[in-house]
A and B are shown apart, each in its own frame.
Chain A
Amino acid sequence: MAVWELLSVELLTASLGLGLLVLGLLVPRGQKRGLGYLATLGLLGIAALAFTLREAKGVVWEGYIIDPLGTYFKLLFLFAAVLTCVSSFEYIGRLGHGEGEYYALIIISTLGMMILASAGELITLYLGLELMTISFCILATYRRGDMKSAEAGIKYIILGALSSAILLYGLSLLYGSTGSTFIKDISLVVNSGGVTPLMVVGIIFLLGGFAFKMAAVPFHMWAPDVYEGAPTPVTAFLSVASKAAAFAAFLRVFFVALGDSHSLWAEVIVALTVLSVVVGNLVAIPQKNMKRLLAYSSISQAGYLLLGIVAFSTLGIGAILYHSMLYVFANMGAFMVATVFYNADKSDEIQDYAGLARRSPLLAAVMLFSLLSLAGIPPLAGFVSKFYLFMAVIDQGYIWLAILAVLMSMVSVYYYLQVVKVMYLGDPPPGRPVIEVPLGVQIALACSLATLFLFGIYPTPLTNYAFSSAAAFFH
């Protein structure tokens, strides 16, 4: 396959992003809604292309690998970006500034994630990471004049820079001790038993850097504040796609380059998992703000995804792939509802969701089933994916870890049900009108809901896809 063909997804994404940036300058103020539609359609088209290339395999150069795993993640980013764009039309239109740049930034950060997912070399990986992070810094501060948004932006910039520095330091140590930045070459050195103390330090720095991007405890402190302050669609995108991108890069570095030193870092991952699952779920309980609640829930989801890393097996990777794809739809579903609700009521407080089931049955139903999917309740897709994750760790003999994780996911049902309680059991405040949901968002909501049910009841197609991608990546 020709090089340009292998790279077509990235090339088109880059052109779409840059094209929108230019177009945004040409279109007069107040007539920029079309840019959003264009971005959505463009991303959908690229997603379709990526789907046809899902089996493609090839090496562009040693530092950039196209394989089914990478393409799986690219599809995931594209879906997340599409849903983000759809839920942004109204929200960004009301902000009244920077509509053109907004969609361009979403697409450029998607490009960063794609590079992250395909990087076969450490500098390329870092490049993708920064492309993603810097775009998000701008996006997080998009609510100009809002203190919380500014706070979110600053926090993300400072802590993001810090974590990038830590990661970069880890990468440099890895380079220093192996003499190469290529993942393939590093794996050869590690393979021949050459784990030096210097490399161990490097691995620790790398773990810290990645854990920050995944928002795993104890590197999670930025997440609730940034999630709360950033514009809701951006929060949604940040919580699903950037987390998945971090996992994609993690898989490449730790499973391929450092796979043979697995015993060195396995225990650290177990600790991260336990902390994320326990802290994320317990701290979510007292939250009063919808976005903060979802932030802590997304911290705990990082813990569940880490279960797949703990398993260190094809089954584990397959489970990560399956879970992260459905996490996109469940979390985006919840955030889309939050966005529509914010547009109508200008509030993110959970108590204001009272009686949502009466004001808009669709919104309440999507929120209900998205949260239940996050909690892992059948017949929703989240159940199947958690089933795979638990199976993967039990298969490796970590029964205690599985019991802990299952019990904690039952704890999560408690706080998700608190939201459900407000929506279904509460009465709407008097005088609140029925919430009108724009058609585009209705379609997006219906699609995520259908996806959650479809892959919960008949998981086979996605299971086969995820597991075959995992098998092609890791034996």
Chain B
Amino acid sequence: MSFPLLTAILLAPVVGIILILFIPEREQLTIKITAAVATFVSLVLSIYAYVAYDQAAGGLQFLEDRSWIPALGVNYSVGVDGISLPMVLLTALVIFTGVFASWDMTHRVKEFFLFLLMLVTGVFGVFISRDLFFFYLFFEVAVIPMYLLIGIWGSTRKEYAAMKLTLYLLVGSAFALIGIIALYLYAARQLGYLTFDIQTLATVQYDIGFQKFVFFLFLIGFGVLVPIWPLHLWSPDGHVAAPTAVSMLHAGVLMKLGAYGLIRVGVFFLPEGAKFWAPLIAVLCIVNVVYGAMIAMVQRDLKFVIGYSSVSHMGYVLLGIAALNTLSLSGAVTQMFAHGIMTALFFALVGNIYHKAHTREIALFGGLAHQMPRVAAGFLIGGLASLGLPGLHNFVAEFLIFLGAFTREQELLGGVLTYRALAILAILGIVITATYVLRVVQRTFFGPRKEAWDHLEDAHGVEMVPIVVLCATLILFGLFPSLMGDLIYTGVAPLVAKLEAARTIGGIF
């Protein structure tokens, strides 16, 4: 048997947890180094998987399969394809840099890294699972450590935000759970045997009414996590209250779990259901894009700006899903990766500033580029990525999504609205994004030097790890989009084939 690569990626943080359990609380540096090494192992293995993935063959690779609960057809089976592999890489990059972003942590360090690694184990698990039971199991594993991480180490109304986030996510996952069980039992009647295998479940022809109902459950369940408007209320509060590494992981990766769930479970299993609900997603996502950006514009707290910009940017992902064609879906997956890296970069930088200045009030800053040139440079790169500057990865993603949505010729609301019109509205969102990003950059970093901030030290030492790694990733994939584009295409192709084979069905409106 070959080396269980994906299991190793999953278990590296678990080994880290076990090791940290036995390190005394006062040896903080040892704990941090252990966490860094554990996540570094995951990162190296993820990069190896990314490089070794055979694009010509496509499909699921690095398969492992072990019978787990035979009575119910549950198998521990893992594998990655062109959609999940970028997500695994994203997770590995964000958690690795997140550990370094928390290097200055001094309060209850042991528990912090324990919960952080627990959280990331859940996230890795979701992306590599090929079995729906494990998919859901890992999905929920991520929630509770999040509560404790925000509740203990957070800032700004942390207890309120932590509870709000947890309840939103759990109620959402309750809907997803019902959907998953319904799907499983329906398939069992068709197939004549019990299985949770994602590939097998996807071969079942589900009844149209059933598809509409279950896709709706998934839309709520995974939509909360994306977050789809109007279920987004937990997310800005959560981002702001969370400690730096958790914000990074949260906005960078956890929100992608929702979009990934919608694609992998929603669209892949229930193509007709997806077609039926696509118009609703398309309209809501425009609200996400425009409304999120407008709210971001009036924020006074740096972290809230990033929080709402995430709501806005995830709207593009939803648009990509709603348009349901090769270009748009590839764009959606690309955007998930690019936005994850970009937003993790933002949160790392804001965390860095907050740790030193003890405030995030934009109005108080100004001319920080004099004191913190490296942070300013990183923030500028992130900001330019955010507004879709060519040469950075986000441009590729947004371009694909707009192109995909624009080429979809379907009318909504009896001809009042078209996807084309929605694409144009979404592009307008970019203009608003440019406005608020540039305003924030200008007010925070440029302008005359303020002496009040002279005591701020620029990022140095390990603090540079997140900035360098994340910026480099954005630029690398921005300059060579085919490094990821071809891979994603191999993942999206079977999805689109399934959509094309699906019966035609009108949208909800």
Task: Please give the residue numbers on chain A whose beta carbons come within 8 Å of chain B beta carbons, in ascending order.
Answer: 357, 372, 377-379, 383, 387, 390-391, 394-395, 399, 402-403, 406-407, 409-410, 413-414, 417, 420-421, 424-425, 458-460, 463-464, 467
Contact = CB atoms under 8 A, between A and B. Distances in A.
Interface stretch (B52-60, B135-143, B258-266): B135-143
Contacts of B144: 372, 377
Contacts of B137: 378-379, 383
Interface stretch (B69-77, B304-312, B381-389, B500-508): B69-77
Contacts of A424: 148, 151-152
Contact of A402 (B136, B171, B178): B178
Given A378-B140, A403-B174, A417 B182 contact: no
A465 to B, nearest CB: 10
A403 B178 contact: yes
Contacts of A357: 111
B147 interface: yes
Interface string B60-103: 00000000111110000000000000000000000000000000
Contacts of A421: 151, 159, 163
A417 B166 contact: yes
B147 A402 contact: no
Given A387-B181, A394-B178, 15 more contacts: A357-B111, A387-B177, A399-B182, A409-B174, A413-B167, A414-B163, A417-B163, A421-B159, A421-B163, A424-B151, A425-B152, A425-B159, A459-B69, A460-B68, A467-B71
Nearest to B151: A425
A391 B185 contact: yes
B181 A410 contact: no
B202 interface: no
Q: Which residue among A395, A409, A458, A467 has the maximum number of chain B CB atoms within 10 Å of its CB?
A: A395
A460 B178 contact: no
A390 B136 CA distance: 14
Contacts of A420: 147-148
Contacts of B152: 424-425
Contacts of A390: 177-178, 181
A394 B140 contact: no
B170 interface: yes
A377 B184 CA distance: 20
B71 A413 contact: no
12 contacts: A383-B137, A394-B181, A399-B182, A403-B174, A409-B174, A410-B167, A413-B166, A421-B163, A458-B68, A459-B69, A460-B70, A467-B71
Interface of B: 68-72, 111, 133, 136-138, 140-141, 143-144, 147-148, 151-152, 159, 163, 166-167, 170-171, 174-175, 177-178, 181-182, 184-185
Contacts of B166: 413, 417
Contacts of B159: 421, 425
B439 to A, nearest CB: 36
Contact of B174 (A387, A410, A464): A410
Contacts of A391: 181, 184-185
A460 B167 contact: no
B185 A378 contact: no
Contacts of A467: 71
A421 B68 CA distance: 34
Nearest to B174: A406
- Chain A CB count within 10 A is highest, among B111, B152, B170, B185, for B170
Contact of B140 (A383, A403, A425): A383
A230 B182 CA distance: 43
Contacts of B174: 403, 406-407, 409-410
B201 to A, nearest CB: 15
A77 B136 CA distance: 32
Nearest to B168: A410
Contacts of B181: 387, 390-391, 394, 402
Contacts of A372: 144
B184 to A, nearest CB: 8
Contacts of A459: 69
Contacts of A394: 178, 181-182, 185
B71 A417 contact: no
Contacts of A458: 68
Interface of A, secondary structure class, is: helix
B176 to A, nearest CB: 10
A108 B68 CA distance: 39
A395, A403, A417 — which one has the most chain B CB atoms within 10 A of its CB?
A417
Contacts of B170: 410, 413
A383 B144 CA distance: 13
A467 to B, nearest CB: 6
A459 B178 CA distance: 20
A407 B72 contact: no
Nearest to B153: A425
A96 B175 CA distance: 52
A274 B93 CA distance: 46
A387 B71 CA distance: 14
Contacts of A409: 174
A356 to B, nearest CB: 13
A402 to B, nearest CB: 6
A424 B147 CA distance: 11
B360 to A, nearest CB: 22
Contacts of B184: 391
A399 to B, nearest CB: 7
B199 to A, nearest CB: 21
A374 B170 CA distance: 15
Nearest to A467: B71
Contacts of A413: 166-167, 170
Nearest to B115: A424
B357 to A, nearest CB: 25
Interface-central residue, A372, A394, A424, A425, by most chain B CB under 10 Å: A425
Contacts of B185: 391, 394-395
Contacts of A399: 178, 182
Contacts of B175: 403
Contacts of B69: 459-460, 463
A54 to B, nearest CB: 17
Contacts of B71: 460, 463-464, 467
A437 to B, nearest CB: 17
B252 to A, nearest CB: 23
B111 A406 contact: no
B224 to A, nearest CB: 12
A357 B25 CA distance: 13
A413 B185 CA distance: 27
A383 B171 CA distance: 15
A87 B485 CA distance: 60
B219 to A, nearest CB: 15
Nearest to B138: A378
A72 to B, nearest CB: 16
Contact of A377 (B68, B143, B151, B182): B143
Nearest to B133: A387
A81 B402 CA distance: 65
A463 B143 contact: no
A414 B147 CA distance: 11
Nearest to B76: A458
B317 to A, nearest CB: 26
Contact of B171 (A387, A395, A407, A417): A407
A425 B147 CA distance: 10
Contacts of A377: 140, 143-144
A414 B167 contact: yes
A283 B184 CA distance: 33
A59 B258 CA distance: 55
Nearest to A409: B174
A399 B163 CA distance: 28
A414 B174 CA distance: 14
Nearest to B172: A410
Contacts of A406: 174, 177-178
Contacts of B178: 390, 394, 399, 402-403, 406
B214 to A, nearest CB: 10
Contacts of A395: 185
A399 B69 CA distance: 24
